[in-house]
Structure 1
Amino acid sequence: MVLTTPFIMRGKNLKIMRPKKNQELELKKNSVLYFSIGMAAVMLLAYVALEWKTFYETPEFAQNSEKLNDIDEVLPPITINLPPPPPPKIQTPPVIEIVPDDEKIIETIIESTETDQDKEIIDIKDIVVIKDHVDEVIPFAVIENVPVFPGCEDADDKRACFQEMMQKHVRKNFRYPEIAQEMGLQGRVSLMFTIQKDGSIDELKMRGPHKVLETEAARIISKLPKMTPGKQRGNPVKVPFSIPITFKLQ
Structure 2
Amino acid sequence: MSSKLDNIHREATQKATMWSFVEEFLDTDRLRQIDYGNLALRRQAHLFLSHGVITAIVLLGLFWIVSANWHSILSLAGFAGNDDEPMVECYEVVTSVTQLPPPPPLAAPEPSVVRPASVVPIIPNVGKIKSVKEANAPAEQTLATQKEIKQAIQSQTSGTGSGEGGGASASDDVPMFVPCEKMPGFLDQKKPAYPEMARTAGIEGKVFVSVLIGEDGRAIKAKVMKRVPADCNIFDAVAIKSVMESKYYPGIQNGSPIKVWFTVPIRFQLD
Shorter-chain TM-score tier: 0.3 to 0.5
Larger radius of gyration: 2
